[in-house]
Structure formats: C-alpha cells, structure tokens
Amino acid sequence: MKRYSAFAVAKEAFSYHQGWERAWRSPEPKGRYDVVIIGAGGHGLATAYYLAKNHGLTNVAVLEKGWLGGGNTGRNTTIIRSNYLQPPSAAIYDLAHTLYENLSQKLNFNIMFSPRGVLMLAQTEHELRAWKRTAHANRLAGIKSELVDAERVKSLCPIINIDGPRYPVLGGLWQPRGGTARHDAVAWGYARAASDLGVDVIQQCEVTGIDVEGGKVTGAQTSRGAIGCDKLAIVVAGHSGELARMAGFRLPVESVPLQALVSEPIKPCMDIVVMANTVHGYMSQSDKGEMVIGGGSDGYNAFTQRGSFQHVEETVRALCETFPILSRLKMLRQWGGIVDMTGDRSPIIGKTPVEGIFINCGWGTGGFKSIPGSGWAMAATVARGAPDEIAGPFSLDRFAEGRMIDESVAAAVAH
C-alpha cells in the first residue's frame, strides 16, 4: 500500500495523479476463511482491522450486501464523546475516544477528527442534577468533563438563547475532548488498512443464510456463493435481529429509524457540538458550513432509511427556541438510519447460543462514537473465543441474569 504524505502528493502531481492505487482491494470471495464478518460498516471494518493488527488473523473476509459504509456509518451526525455514567459504558467509549485521537496517524488516512468539545445542556433541575452526578462519575473514571453554569454555556456558544420561553438553560456538562470526525473517512481508513494487512473486503455480497451443524457454525450462504468459516461475527446494526434469526436464535433488540438533517451552508457561527436532551435535538456545524442536526428515533419499528416530516418539525421547532438564528435557514436534506435498540440502551458484544458465532449490536444511537473501541473489543472477543475485560459486561447473558447497564435512565438519550 502506497503511504499517503505531502511528499507523495507532490510526487504524484508530476504525473497528473495517475499513479495512485486503489484504496482497498476488491477480491473474489474464497471458499473458506478463518473468520467471516458480516457487515462492512465502521464496526465490522474496525473488527477486521484489529483482528489482523492486534491478533495476527488475516484470513478474514468482511461481507457487505451493498457498499462499505453505506449503512449507519454514513448516516449519522458524527458526534464523539465518552462522558457516560455507567462504568462499563465509560470504559468502552473512552477507549474509543482515545483511539480516535490518533486514528489518522495509525491508519495513515485523514479521518478529520475535530476535538471541538461537546456541551450537553441542562434545561431542567432534574437534568442539572443528573449532569452533576455524571461529572462526579466521570472524575472517578478518569474522564475529564465539568459542570458549567449558564453564563459559561453562553460564552462557549454565543448563538444560544439561555432564556428560552419553555426551557431556559440552567447549565451543562462540558467535555472539551469531545468533537466530531468524518464518518465516511473512518470507514474508508479502516477498509484501506485492513485490506493492506490481507483482509478481504467483499462488497455486493449479501448473506442469505447461515450454516449451522451440530450447534456450531460452518459457513454462510451468500449471493456470490457459499463461504465456509470457523468463526462468524454478526456486525450489522439495525439488521442484527434478521441475521440472528438465520442462525436460529433471537436477540433482545428492536430496529427503529433515527432521524437527522442538515441545513443549507452558512458562515461559521458555532465551533462546538451542543446536545439539548430535554427538547431532544443536537447540533454542530460541518466544515462546509451546514448545520448538522439530529433528532429522535421513531416510535415504531421499521427498516426505512427515509426521514419523516413529523421529526423534522419536532426537532427544528425545539432547536429554534434554543437557537433562534436557525429560524430562517432552509433544510438541505434529511435521512434516517436504522438503529438497533436494547432495553437498557447498551450494546451487546460477545458469544451467542451458536458455537463460533459472535454478535456486536445494540449500539442504538451511539454507534459512531464507539467504532474504534467496539472493533478493538470485538476483535479480542473473536480471537480469544471469549470476551475481554472491556466487552465482558456487555455479554448477551446479562439480560437473563438481570445485570443491566442502564444508560437510558442515566443519560436520558444515548447519542
């Protein structure tokens, strides 16, 4: 793989940039692999990369029914933070956050990581108490976040209206390390690095069935033929329940669309990420000037990737109260992503009832920020055949044992 650098760009300029090679290989699938990963989103590609990089497993295939990064990885609002309340959540998200900070250098691919800071507003007394609790928990976990008052909120984000008619801003939880990254670049960087290590990234290869004999996985049926494997990892976000059904077991997840939209581009006016959980909206400004706006998930199960007028109206109405400057902007486009929700709004990482099949799902609305940590923990789990200390608390059997990791109550929203 040719290394990207300023010198390489200058050298290629002399040949009109005709010498660049493809970022990743597009091989034909082999008949058998040591590990097959279903899903070439950020989590699946990160799992493949860390399997090769950390554990030396390179006879690995990543199967994608469409194009890599075409699901939730390319349909999110790119927020990165780690200020979660529960210790297992804080551990895996902070691992992901730490890996994000040096990921461009590790992958030799600019993921456009921008540590601009994430501010989570407190617009009720209950929310203010919750953020105070989270700030103390973060301090114990070694995660830097701080509770700030309304005046500090205004100084961090001058365009905000702290004297809102329904929900005035009382303060907020501020994580200076938080920020954003380019979602497509994260998928492309992992794909390129994994391919260079020998992993086969196979697009346009839909899994139509999973072969199980004697309670153990033996392979997968795909639109490009049968592929045998010793281990199989399901990393398909909103379609996790469907793949589990093919393998003969059920998951405690439900799939719902999550809404987002962007405005027309405007001049820079906001250099942080703001999350307003009480009115349920969150926003940042992209490098192109668009206001990237996220809303809530639909109240019904579906697999649609379209947006809905109801959520646009609810989200924009709420944000216009907190950010009056938005009221005259035009919407550029909207979309939905299919997220898989667990009852406690925490992920599932680990073994399944079928020997050799591993699952990584249930990230809900917090999937993008967790990609490096999720891939790291999932790779260790697949390589060793059992969860490591990071993935251990998120095993599937926690639902039978009643040891929930309840971020839905702790954070009010899991973005």
Q: Assess whether 212 and 317 both reside in one domain.
A: no
User: Which of 283, 308, 341 is the last residue in one of the domains?
Assistant: 341
Number of domains in the chain: 2
* pLDDT given for residue 316 in this prediction: 87
Quick one: 158 and 204 in the same domain? no
pLDDT digits 0-9 by tens, 90-131: 999 999 999 999 999 999 999 999 999 999 999 999 999 999
Q: Which long-range contacts (CB under 8 A, 24 or more apart) does 210-213 make?
A: 210/243, 210/246, 210/247, 210/357, 212/247, 212/248, 212/354, 212/357
> Domain boundary residue among 341, 367, 386?
341
Q: Do residue 263 and residue 393 come from a single domain?
A: no
Selection from 187, 146, 193, 155 nearest residue 4 by Cα? 193
Q: What is the pLDDT of residues 332-389, one digit of tens each?
A: 998 888 999 998 999 999 999 999 999 999 999 889 999 999 999 999 999 999 998 9
Q: What is the pLDDT of residue 281?
A: 86
The neighbour count for residue 289, using CB atoms within 10 Å, is: 14
Q: Judge whether 70 lies within some domain.
A: yes
Asked, for residue 18, whether it belongs to a domain, the answer is no
Q: Which class for 385: exposed (0-12), middle (13-18), buried (19 or more C-beta within 10 A)?
A: exposed
> Which residue, 101, 119, 118, is CA-closest to 170?
119
pLDDT lower than 50: segments of the chain: 410-415
Is 230 found in the same domain as 190?
yes
Query: d(Cα 47, Cα 64) in Å, to the nearest integer?
Result: 14
d(CA 25, CA 200): 7
CATH code of the domain containing 234: 3.50.50.60
Residues 6+ apart with CB under 8 A from 269: 159, 285, 325
Find where tokens 């939209």 sit.
Answer: 261
Q: Which SS3 state, helix, strand or coil, does residue 247 take?
A: helix
In one letter, which amino acid is 41? G
What's the CA gap between 189 and 49, in Å, rounded? 10
Q: Do residues 33 and 169 share a domain?
A: no
Whether residue 205 is found in the same domain as residue 317: no
Q: Which structure tokens are listed for 63? A: 């199967």
The whole-angstrom separation of Cα 59 and Cα 276 is 45
DSSP 160-189: --SS-SSS---EEEEETT-EE--HHHHHHH
Q: What is the pLDDT of residue 302?
A: 84
3-state secondary structure of 249: coil
Provide the pLDDT for residue 300: 80
Decide if 6 is inside a domain.
Answer: no
DSSP 8-state code for residue 193? H
Distance CA 258, CA 364 (A): 9
272 in any annotated domain? yes
If asked whether residues 264 and 399 sit together in one domain, one would say no
Is residue 48 domain-resident? yes
Q: Are residues 167 and 312 in the same domain?
A: yes
Residue 280 to residue 181: CA distance in whole angstroms:
22
Asked whether residue 259 falls in the same domain as residue 248, the answer is no
Residue 2 lies in a domain: no
Rounded Cα distance, 147 and 330, in Å: 34
CB-hemisphere CA count at 13 Å for 320?
A: 12
Same structural domain, 383 and 371: yes
* Among 192, 200, 204, 193, CA closest to 64: 204
Q: Which domain holds residue 148?
A: 118-177+255-341
Are the C-beta atoms of 307 and 336 separated by less than 8 Å?
yes
Chosen domain end from 318, 341, 364: 341
Please check whether residues 162 and 239 belong to one and the same domain.
no
Residue 342: helix, strand or coil by DSSP?
strand
One domain for residues 100 and 187: yes
